[in-house]
């Protein structure tokens, strides 16, 4: 580990900020008819940020900057890279939908870049205050994106709910951080772990209370039960491109702050937060998967599915520490990292298909709107089939391998802690989830089409959707390189 030049460690953030400011300024002089100029500029900014992430990832070192408040490590670079991919695919998928509804404006592009900038700051924060600043930048930008359709009652209602409950979550996190600062005497995450581990914090009750609030705040951001109440309404009410954004990159960021705060900062208190994560995981698996069965609206079904998926991811988070034994730590957390990346990629494609089928005056939000998709377009039906299989955890998709490595990590820790029953319950709820995912496949392949009109899409959207589907399949058959990337990132992040 080394102290680096501040600018080099924060190169992706600097590039992204410069790109966001350039998009804001140039868009002032671009008419609605030439909005593609802003679109291309935004994709170029995202490409430059991705290039900076790759350059740092190739370097493969852990560097601290800005007085050790900021960390540039492979863990951060991998998650940032996939966050950039999420934002880029969202903009590609959004084109037709946003143009038809008057959303193809500079605000969509600049706010997306600022959401991503907040995510970058959250992922690399090595100080609780920096993480909170990143969280607020991301959250405020997302609130504005949800309310982008000001004339739509559903969207404005969703934005209000998201704002109020998001503010509550931020308050939980901030209060938890203040408790940890008061008890531990530092905002630095690494120093906090050393203080707690070295017995320099006599007031354990304050630490545990702070940890409870931290876990509650993270649970809100992940959308796990019982802090899930905003998820279905916001997914349903927000414009579909914004729903893609909420359901992908911010989940990666929430996983990152869960790792930074709980694992890097509060590892000595693992026995306390593990118990909380078990309850959150069980509640999410039960509520998300059972409630999703009753949904006829595809976006609400995917919202409840998200709750269940995040519950499954928490199983890997809680299995990373077994008592005082940290041998399986990197394996478990790399499984959680692989899982959250898999979820983000699959969610992107699923909502991409919804946007593909939508047209002016028609949202394509109901499961019934997918009827007979195989007859209208066998290729897109096949892509959706792969995505549904991945969410359900059916081989040979990457979703199957993601669930497999999580259960493997859980059972690896269960030998000494006696939580084999947790893996059995998770498997049972995965079987329940398969029902509502396969129902979508049944509707596409066996029902008569309600709409026989041809599906129209831009060339870049067709290519992006096809690549998205192919990625879900290829990473299921050959997951080794991504698993190795996640494992290396975790070893470096944990000081290996």
Could you tell me how many residues make up the chain? 496
* Alpha carbon separation from 436 to 210, 391, 411 (Å, rounded): 38, 10, 27
Distance from chain centroid for Cα 32: 31
Report CA-CA distances (Å) from 240 to 22, 233, 351, 364, 368.
26, 12, 7, 10, 17
3-state secondary structure of 317: helix
Most confident of 24-28, 115-119, 182-186: 115-119
Least confident of 146-155, 199-208, 231-240: 199-208
Quick one: which of 372, 359, 377 has its CA closest to 454?
Answer: 377
Which among 258, 259, 247 is positioned nearest to 216, based on CA atoms? 258
Residue appearing with tokens 């080394």: 2
Averaged pLDDT score across all residues of the chain = 88
Contacts of 259 (CB under 8 A, 6+ apart): 75, 317, 333, 336, 337, 493
Sheet holding 63-65, edge to edge: 2-3, 63-65, 70-72
The residues pairing with 63 across neighbouring beta strands, listed in sequence order, are: 2, 72
pLDDT at 271: 82
Task: Dump pLDDT digits (tens) for 401-455.
Answer: 999 998 888 887 554 455 788 888 999 999 999 999 999 999 999 988 877 777 8
Structure tokens at 295: 């949904």
The whole-number average pLDDT for the span 300-310 is 93
**Which whole number is the average pLDDT over 374-400?**
91
pLDDT in tens, 322-374: 544 455 677 888 889 999 999 999 999 999 999 888 876 677 788 888 888 88
- Structural tokens at position 82: 């996939």
Predicted confidence (pLDDT) at residue 397 exceeds the cutoff of 70: yes
- Beta strands 63-65 and 2-3 are parallel
The 3-state secondary structure of 380-422 reads HHHHHHHHHHHHHCCCCCHHHHHHHHHHHHHHHHHHHHCCHHH
When pLDDT is averaged across residues 265-292 and rounded to a whole number, the result is 89
* Closest C-alpha to 307, from 337, 281, 332, 342: 281
pLDDT at 15: 94
pLDDT at 322: 54
Q: Please, what's the b/e burial string for 10-26 (b: 16 or more CB within 10 A of its CB; e: otherwise)?
A: bbbbebbbebbebbbee
Give the residue-averaged pLDDT of 72-82.
93
Among the listed residues 20, 121, 108, 39, the one whose alpha carbon sits nearest the alpha carbon of residue 80: 121
What's the mean pLDDT in 281-294? 92
Q: For residue 301, give Cα distances in angstroms to 114, 178, 298, 425, 428.
A: 28, 37, 5, 21, 19
Q: How far apart are CA 126 and CA 478, in angstroms?
A: 33
Residue 297 token pair: 């609206």
- pTM beyond 0.85, yes or no: yes
Confidence (pLDDT) at 59:
83
Per-residue confidence (pLDDT) for residue 118, from 0 to 100:
95
pLDDT average, residue stretch 97-104:
85
Separation of alpha carbons 240 and 298, rounded Å:
11
Q: Which pLDDT does position 329 carry in this prediction?
A: 75
d(CA 229, CA 495): 37
CB 259 within 8 A of CB 332: no
pLDDT at residue 143 in the model: 92
Q: What is the pLDDT of residue 2?
A: 47
Q: Which two tokens stand for residue 434?
A: 């398969």
Residue 361, pLDDT score:
65
pLDDT above 80 (res 177): yes
Give the per-residue pLDDT at 402: 92
Residue 286 has pLDDT above 90, yes or no: yes
Written as six digits, the tokens of 334 are: 């790399």
> Looking at residue 324, what is its pLDDT?
45
């Amino acid at each position: 580990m080394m102290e680096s030049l501040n600018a080099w460690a924060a190169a992706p953030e600097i590039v992204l900020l410069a790109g966001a400011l350039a998009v804001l300024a140039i868009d002032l002089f671009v008419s609605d008819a030439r909005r593609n100029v802003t679109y291309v500029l935004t994709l170029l900014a995202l490409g430059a940020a991705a290039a900076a992430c790759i350059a740092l990832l190739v370097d493969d070192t852990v560097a601290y900057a800005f007085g050790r408040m900021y960390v540039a490590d492979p863990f951060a670079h991998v998650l940032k890279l996939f966050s950039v991919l999420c934002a880029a695919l969202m903009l590609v998928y959004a084109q037709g939908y946003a143009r038809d509804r008057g959303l193809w404006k500079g605000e969509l592009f600049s706010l997306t870049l600022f959401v991503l900038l907040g995510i970058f700051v959250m992922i690399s924060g090595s100080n609780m205050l920096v993480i909170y600043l990143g969280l607020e930048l991301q959250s405020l930008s997302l609130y504005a994106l949800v309310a982008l359709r000001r004339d739509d009652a559903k969207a404005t209602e969703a934005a209000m709910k998201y704002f109020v409950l998001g503010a509550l979550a931020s308050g939980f996190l901030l209060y938890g951080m203040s408790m940890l600062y008061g008890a531990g005497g530092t905002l630095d995450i690494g120093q906090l772990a050393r203080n707690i581990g070295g017995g320099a914090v006599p007031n354990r009750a304050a630490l545990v209370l702070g940890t409870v609030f931290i876990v509650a705040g993270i649970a809100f951001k992940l959308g796990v039960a019982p802090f899930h109440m905003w998820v279905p309404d916001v997914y349903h009410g927000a414009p579909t491109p914004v729903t893609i954004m909420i359901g992908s990159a911010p989940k990666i960021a929430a996983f990152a702050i869960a790792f930074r705060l709980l694992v890097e900062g509060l590892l000595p208190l693992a026995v306390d937060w593990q118990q909380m994560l078990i309850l959150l995981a069980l509640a999410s698996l039960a509520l998300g998967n059972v409630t999703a069965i009753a949904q006829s609206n595809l976006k609400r079904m995917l919202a409840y599915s998200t709750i269940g998926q995040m519950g499954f991811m928490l199983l890997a988070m809680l299995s990373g520490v077994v008592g005082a034994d940290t041998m399986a730590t990197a394996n478990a957390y790399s499984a959680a990292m692989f899982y959250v990346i898999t979820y983000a990629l699959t969610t992107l494609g699923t909502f991409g298909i919804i946007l593909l089928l939508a047209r002016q005056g028609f949202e394509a939000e109901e499961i019934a709107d997918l009827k007979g998709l195989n007859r209208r377009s066998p290729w897109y039906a096949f892509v959706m089939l792969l995505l549904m299989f991945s969410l359900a955890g059916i081989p040979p998709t990457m979703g199957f391998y993601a669930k497999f490595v999580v259960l493997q990590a859980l059972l690896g820790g269960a030998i000494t802690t006696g939580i084999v029953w947790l893996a059995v319950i998770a498997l049972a709820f995965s079987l329940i989830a398969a029902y509502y995912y396969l129902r979508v496949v049944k509707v596409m392949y066996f029902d008569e089409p309600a709409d026989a009109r041809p599906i129209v899409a831009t060339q870049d959207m067709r290519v992006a959707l096809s690549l998205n589907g192919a990625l879900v399949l290829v990473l299921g058959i050959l997951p080794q390189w991504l698993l190795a990337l996640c494992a290396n990132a975790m070893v470096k992040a944990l000081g290996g």
